[in-house]
Amino acid sequence: MGLAAYDIVGGAGEWHVRHDGSKNTYETKEAAFEAAVVAASLALRQGHGVTLTVPESESTTGAANAG
């Protein structure tokens, strides 16, 4: 089997998951991540190695950053 690579790229309302020359578009980085994880899970089941690359955020929100 081969390596299945998923790269999340984009910004502000237009995020993409790149894989094997294709690019799917999502409104949020989280939506792109969730879609990539589902695809990566299927690739794992099929015996592929998997890489998933997600850029860090310029600003963060959430419980981990609550004051």
**pLDDT for 49:** 97
- Residue 67 has a pLDDT of 47
**Neighbouring C-beta atoms of residue 6, cutoff 10 Å:** 21
- Nearest Cα to Cα of residue 53 among 16, 13, 1: 16
64: Cβ–Cβ under 8 A, 6 or more apart, which residues? none
pLDDT at 47: 97
10-38 pLDDT, tens digit each? 998 899 999 999 999 999 999 999 999 99
